[in-house]
Structure 1
Amino acid sequence: MKQISILGCGWMGLPLAKALIEKNTRVKGSTTSVDKLSVLEKTGIQAFLLELDSKSVPDALPAFFEGSETLIIAIPPKLRGKNKDYSDANSNSFVKKIANLLPLLERSSIQNLLFISSTAVYGDANAIVDEHTKPIPVTESGKQLLAIEKLLLENIRFKTTILRFGGLIGKDRHPARFLAGKENADNPEAPINLIHQDDCIEIIMKILETNTWGEILNAVTPYHPSREQYYTQKAVELNLVPPTFNHSHLSTGKTILSDKLKKVLDYTFIKTHL
């Protein structure tokens, strides 16, 4: 029976773990919450309490890696609250926390690594974007993610695949709720670049099943209506107050293509209209 370690059993990692267990795969999963340990264990996950640090290695990390051939890192950089100053110079840097794992990771049984990144690495490119487009991130999270991508891809001790997800949506998570009732929202004509949780899970499963390593893949549903069209329609469907948009400035925004992913994985998106 295969075994996989998932660093971060949250919104993405937990349903992924469940899908893997259903496929008869042993899963070691981490959480930073003591209360959530029992939730993971009831799912059949061997649960670990792990809080990443830039200066020390969690005591449980060797056991978390042990026996697993593949590691999935599914933890977003925390850019709110006390950690909102998350620059590279900051001791809480996400880059430094991941870098701190590497010496132990290099000595472990891990041979393959899947890093969940984001299309935020492309910044404000006003163009059609694919994996050949040079990433120029403008947000701190985008900058941190790109730095981690580089760090992992350059390591020859394991094979890394980078999965750059667009905006994440699901049954309990829809960006229309954040824009509901907002006035003078920017970029009404900019295209959306979203992906449903169901597709996220299926794409990861496909990567694992096909042993697709050493790749950089964009993962965005090939459905790009304008922000105004999409969020107005979704607000109505969800019985929310539709946002209003500012048309006094020219809209700018990127359209992110997932053609490479569809070809490499022979993948057909499940949720084509989000």
Structure 2
Amino acid sequence: MKPVLIMGCGYVGERVGHRMAHEGRRVIGVARHPERVRELKAMGFEALQADLDTGEGLDVLPLAGCLVLHSVPPPSEGRVDPRTARFAELCRRQPPEKIVYISTTGVYGDQGGAQVDDLTEPSPMTDRGHRRLDAEKRLGQLMAEAGIPVVVLRAPGIYGPFRLPVARIQAG
């Protein structure tokens, strides 16, 4: 079985990692902060520290031949995602077997209550939506140029313990 490398092994990545490890796969979690790397190791994952903002640690990531879950969020400002741009360049040098990217339904913008599907034209209304769409486009370009299969999952809000936007909900 191909190893699984999880870029941005946070809330979702941890859960995917546990499932993949249970299936007998080698799981490599990648996190930016040393304390998170220690937590991942304590859970039984292989763990590496790397930072898509600074480039530190990227040279030791074993991407080639891996299935990669890219769940690194874009920066909190701007309309482009330089993290995914750096990740795509890294993939050109070390092609993974496949990339799964967790995006957001926010790329669709306000559809006025209409249903959306994969054929709905993205129309982001927020900078965050634009950043995610930029990431999707960069990965699509990587797929077209390098032949690396990319799957984009447009997830709605991801909630779990201590992740609910309670204050925002209470404020209406």
1:122 pairs with one of 98, 101, 108: 108
**In structure 2, what is the equivalent of residue 168 of structure 1?**
158
Deviations 1:5-57 (A, max 9, x none): 1001111111211111111111111111111222111222111111112xx53
Give the Cα separation in 1 of the matches to 2:120 and 2:63: 37
| Contact residue 123 and residue 135 of structure 1 kept, 8 A | yes
Name the amino acid aligned to 2:107.
Answer: V
Name the amino acid aligned to 1:116.
Answer: I
| Contact residue 27 and residue 46 of structure 1 kept, 8 A | yes
**In structure 2, what is the equivalent of residue 111 of structure 1?**
97
**In structure 2, what is the equivalent of residue 87 of structure 1?**
78
Give the Cα separation in 1 of the matches to 2:58 and 2:75: 20
Give the Cα separation in 2 of the matches to 1:101 and 1:169: 26
Deviation at 1:66, TM superposition (A): 4.2
Name the amino acid aligned to 2:58.
Answer: L
State the structure with bigger RCO (CA 8 A, min sep 6), 1 or 2: 2
Number of corresponding residues:
168
| Contact residue 5 and residue 68 of structure 1 kept, 8 A | no
Name the amino acid aligned to 2:120.
Answer: T
Name the amino acid aligned to 1:100.
Answer: R
> Secondary structure at 1:135's aligned position in 2?
coil
Matches within 5 A, 1:33-72: 33-53=33-53, 57-58=55-56, 60-72=57-69
| Contact residue 28 and residue 47 of structure 2 kept, 8 A | yes
Deviation at 1:109, TM superposition (A): 4.1
Q: Does 1:159 align with 2:149?
A: yes
Identity of aligned residues (%): 27
**In structure 2, what is the equivalent of residue 179 of structure 1?**
169
Give the Cα separation in 2 of the matches to 1:100 and 1:8: 14
| Contact residue 74 and residue 84 of structure 2 kept, 8 A | no
| Contact residue 65 and residue 109 of structure 1 kept, 8 A | no
Give the Cα separation in 2 of the matches to 1:121 and 1:12: 19
Unaligned stretches of 5+ in structure 1?
80-85, 186-274
Deviations 1:167-213 (A, max 9, x none): 22224433455313x3xx3xxxxxxxxxxxxxxxxxxxxxxxxxxxx
Give the Cα separation in 1 of the matches to 2:22 and 2:167: 32
Q: Show structure 1 runs of 4+ deviating over 4 A.
A: none
Give the Cα separation in 2 of the matches to 1:67 and 1:134: 32
2:86 pairs with one of 97, 100, 103: 100
Deviation at 1:100, TM superposition (A): 2.0
Pair 168,103 (structure 1): closer, same or farther in 2 beyond 3 Å: closer
How well do the aligned residues superpose, as a CA RMSD in angstroms?
A: 1.9
TM-score in terms of structure 2 length: 0.87
Deviations 1:78-114 (A, max 9, x none): 42xxxxxx224xxxx5x22221232331121402111
**In structure 1, what is the equivalent of residue 4 of structure 2?**
4
Name the amino acid aligned to 2:127.
Answer: E
